Amino acid sequence: MDDAAEGYDPLYLQGIAYFNACEFFKAHEVWEDLWKNYSGDLRLFYKGLIQAAVALHHFGNGNIRGARKVYRSSRGYLEQYGPTCVGMDLEKFLAELDACFVEVAASQEEFPNIEINPELIPEITLDPPVELPAVDVEG
């Protein structure tokens, strides 16, 4: 790992690596480990990341009701930390998350049939850029 990565918790970076590989359940698990053992000012930030990953996991599996609920709570946690937090451009991330969930958020149906658009799935980048750890991807 590069020198810039030393300023970040390894679990934070591992969660980002899983998230960017669209392994949302694994990202959620890693970030949950970080969140459980953390008691500082960023606790709700980490909870918001966990819920963003869960929302995308539900969306990808067709659980639109669950995705909608967790997407909304994720936004509520994350938006209070903007515009940037722990190297992450939260304004950009939330705008991308909103674009991905626009149809889900707008739907009034209880059980809508909406498929995730892979082109709209947000990706997390850090400033300064860091090399993320390698992660196992389900094939």
The three state secondary structure string of the chain is: CCHHHHHCCHHHHHHHHHHHCCCHHHHHHHHHHHHHCCCCCCHHHHHHHHHHHHHHHHHHCCCHHHHHHHHHHHHHHHHHHCCEECCEEHHHHHHHHHHHHHHHHHCCCCCCCCCCCHHHCCCCCECCCCCCCCCCCCC
pLDDT in tens, 69-128: 999 999 999 999 989 999 999 999 999 999 999 999 998 888 888 999 999 999 999 998
Residue 136 pLDDT: 84
Residue 137 pLDDT: 81
**All domains in the chain, ordered by first residue:** 3-120 (1.10.3450.10)
Q: How confident is the model at residue 2 (pLDDT cuts 50, 70, 90)?
A: low
pTM of the predicted protein model: 0.93
